[in-house]
């Protein structure tokens, strides 16, 4: 499921979708400093080399806080993956260290809620086998983060839950992975301060008879990017985008094309909280590139 493709010459061009995306007013809070890096222009480049990205660490799945002063990312090869944590104090960042609330557990794919109050992630914490991953969340508290609590566990040990992503209205999307069938579906739950509701499978056109995995939803919940191996793609799992209609349904899918898809499996796209950059996880590292004109109808 988590095989990554090799790096192609990733360029943003107007041939993908003809229009430009910019964050909605008020969506940007304190800007993230990106460790003082010179931002990429057209080509995907390595993100924070020597700080986060390093072939020895095998870094992936980056989560930046809405305020730009904290981040989490994963290292390792599943199921032996750890979530690392960094905090900014003044102008200085702490060195990466295993998230204190996950020191004793394998975990991966962290994501912040848009308000920064929760961190959602996939972990085998408390399970009898390190492959039995499900979704937990930790709450931001005065002195750091709370002990994790289970969001739900809908399939026991044969169903694993990965790649959480949450919108401002509390809609938590994730990959429901059937380990016996080796196939995924995208489910959604409604989360509040107290609990997350029982998840349900998303309807057409997101759902299919094929494997649909690794969603990313915008903070406003108005579009979703995910991977699917349905017919008509370039090979393996391809990246697709769909937009949410006013009535809650989703538009027909658009394949993101050869700039993001190859003949191999192509998983995992995340977007920075300021809406400016795309993060892809390639060759055991994190790459970033301008969002350009990717996200629009």
Query: What is this structure's pTM?
Result: 0.89
What is the rounded distance in angstroms from the CA atom of residue 83 to the CA atom of residue 122? 10
What is the rounded distance in angstroms from the CA atom of residue 135 to the CA atom of residue 91? 33
The closest of 52, 72, 187 to 119, measured between CA atoms, is 72
For residue 155, the model assigns a pLDDT of 74
Cα–Cα–Cα angle for 20, 21, 24, nearest 5°? 140
What is the rounded distance in angstroms from the CA atom of residue 136 to the CA atom of residue 171? 15
Given a cut of 90, is residue 59 above it in pLDDT? yes
- Domains, in order of start, for the chain: 34-290 (2.120.10.30)
pLDDT in tens, 84-108: 999 999 999 999 999 999 999 999 9
Given a cut of 80, is residue 12 above it in pLDDT? no
Q: Which comes out higher in pLDDT, residue 102 or 294?
A: 102
Neighbours of 15 (CB within 10 A): 11
C-beta contacts of 221-229 below 8 A and 24+ residues apart:
221/167, 221/168, 221/169, 221/171, 223/295, 224/173, 224/250, 225/256, 225/269, 226/186, 227/265, 227/266, 227/267, 227/268, 228/253, 229/265
Beta-carbon contacts of 75 under 8 Å, excluding residues fewer than 6 positions away, are: 57, 58, 59, 60, 81, 82, 84
Q: Look-up: residue for tokens 């508290």? A: 141
Are 74 and 81 contacting, i.e. CB atoms less than 8 angstroms apart? yes
For residue 260, the model assigns a pLDDT of 87
For residue 22, the model assigns a pLDDT of 42
Mean pLDDT along residues 236-246: 95
Q: Give the tokens for residue 122.
A: 């996939």
Q: Which comes out higher in pLDDT, residue 225 or 263?
A: 225
The closest of 221, 218, 271 to 244, measured between CA atoms, is 221
pLDDT in tens, 149-162: 999 988 778 999 99
Q: Which of 87-101, 128-142, 208-222, 264-278 has the lowest mean pLDDT?
A: 264-278
Q: What is the mean pLDDT of the chain?
A: 88
Mean pLDDT along residues 169-182: 96
Given a cut of 90, is residue 26 above it in pLDDT? no
């Amino acid at each position: 499921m988590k095989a990554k493709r090799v790096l192609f010459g990733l360029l943003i061009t107007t041939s993908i979708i003809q229009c430009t995306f910019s964050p909605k007013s008020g969506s940007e809070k304190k800007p993230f400093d990106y460790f003082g890096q010179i931002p990429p222009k057209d080509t995907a480049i390595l993100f924070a080399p020597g700080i986060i990205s390093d072939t020895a660490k095998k870094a992936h799945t980056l989560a930046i806080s809405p305020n730009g002063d904290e981040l989490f990312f994963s290292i390792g090869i599943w199921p032996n993956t750890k979530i690392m944590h960094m905090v900014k104090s003044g102008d200085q960042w702490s060195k990466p260290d295993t998230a204190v609330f996950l020191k004793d557990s394998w975990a991966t794919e962290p994501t912040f809620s848009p308000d920064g109050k929760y961190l959602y992630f996939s972990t085998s914490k408390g399970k009898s086998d390190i492959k039995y991953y499900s979704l937990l969340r930790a709450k931001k508290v005065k002195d750091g983060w709370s002990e994790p609590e289970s969001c739900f566990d809908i399939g026991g040990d044969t169903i694993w839950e990965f790649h959480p992503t949450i919108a401002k209205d509390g809609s938590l999307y994730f990959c429901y992975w059937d380990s016996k069938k080796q196939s995924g579906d995208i489910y959604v739950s409604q989360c509040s301060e107290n609990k997350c509701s029982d998840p349900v499978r998303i309807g057409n056109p997101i759902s299919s008879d094929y494997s649909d995995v690794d969603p990313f939803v915008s903070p406003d919940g108005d579009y979703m990017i995910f991977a699917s191996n349905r017919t008509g793609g370039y090979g393996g799992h391809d990246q697709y985008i769909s937009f949410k209609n006013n009535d809650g349904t989703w538009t027909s899918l658009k394949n993101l094309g050869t700039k993001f898809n190859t003949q191999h499996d192509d998983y995992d796209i995340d977007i920075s909280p300021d809406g400016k950059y795309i993060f892809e996880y390639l060759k055991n590292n994190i790459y970033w590139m301008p969002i350009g004109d990717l996200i629009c109808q």
